[in-house]
Amino acid sequence: MKPVVFGIAAETLNDEERALFRDSEPAGYILFARNIVDRDQLRALTDELREISGRENVPILIDQEGGRVTRMKPPVWPEFPAWAKFDALYEKAPISAIEAARSNAHAIGLTLAECGITVDCLPLLDVRQPGAHDVIGDRALGFEPMRVAALGRAVLDGLAEAGIAGVIKHIPGHGRAMVDTHKALPRVTASAEELATDVAPFKTLSGASMAMTAHIVFEAWDADRCATLSPTVIDEIIRSEIGFDGLLFSDDLDMQALDGDPSDRAVNVVAAGCDIALNCWGRMDEMKRTVEKLDDISDVSRARLDRAMADIRPAATTDALDALIEKRDTLLALA
């Protein structure tokens, strides 16, 4: 098995993808809107990915957050709100906001489970900061660490009720970035004392089974390398200070925050301490070079992968979906 998650190019696998995936056995796959038409097509695609991998619980990831970041779109699937709405409700009724967040995540999870997806890259535990770039913006759960952790816990619980694994992101925190990591490399000059605010939700939810890194330089910790590529940040901050011992994905390797060929980026993020490199775009030449350059997954990373997926049992029915959405909307109306 190779320590990489691959995207695919289109709505169905082509023969070259089938051959590469069978021969190389990537750790998992990630889907985007370009891969999705409707329920039947999506289920057929995920079933084929499972068959190729030979693993019933192979990680099949998606970024189905709601709001701006939505891969499975209306009218085929329900529209899910941005998470800032739950933050707004928390101002008036914290318990209601937590229950609304749990119900929303449970509903999202049911739509994923129906289509054979096993992992949602959610929740964001990035503590929102005034004046930061809006790449996070209304995707965030709030400006206050305790609130972010409480709502984040509800999201993980709701996904789990549908049999879906959640991924806490973007560890150790994306809330201070002044530029979009898709376009450039952010540098955060905050002190280690100030950054305690950013890591607090991740500490609270450090028992989560999966996390995703931030392509951000934190000068207080490592002025030369972004967190994704920094053994210092991964070992001393993510693994030690935060205490996260689950499966660590890099963020998307295609982002312009990173330099070099994506295949070299994959090698470098694994060398830095990420368990899995995330190559999202389904470009065959890049995937072949990545497979050639990456060593097999380490025993430690394979154990983390197996532990994270051990109890994933996607829900067999969406019968509760309408009731969960109605409950969420009733609670959000309180704001």
Active site residue 215: no
What is the dihedral sign for C-alpha 131, 244, 231, 300?
negative
* Residue 158 DSSP class: H
* Residue 25 DSSP class: -
| Residue 26 φ then ψ, to 5° | -60, 155
Q: Where are the alpha helices (DSSP H) in the chain?
A: 15-24, 39-53, 84-92, 94-114, 145-161, 192-204, 231-232, 262-272, 284-293, 299-309, 321-332
Three-state SS string across 181-220, please?
CCCCCCEECCCHHHHHHHHHHHHHCCCCCEEEECCCEECC
Of the candidates 63, 126, 251, 252, the residue annotated as catalytic is: 251
Report residue 286 as tokens.
């890049």
Nearest to 211 by CA among 231, 234, 236: 234
Q: Report the chain's terminal Cα–Cα distance, integer Å.
A: 48
**Spatial contact of 210 and 119, defined as CB atoms under 8 Å apart:** yes
Of the candidates 182, 259, 285, 296, the residue annotated as catalytic is: 182
Nearest to 274 by CA among 256, 298, 257: 298
- Rounded Cα distance between 321 and 305, Å, is 29
Active site residue 182: yes
- Rounded Cα distance between 298 and 302, Å, is 6
- The C-alpha R_g of the chain, in whole angstroms, comes to 19
The catalytic residue positions are: 182, 251
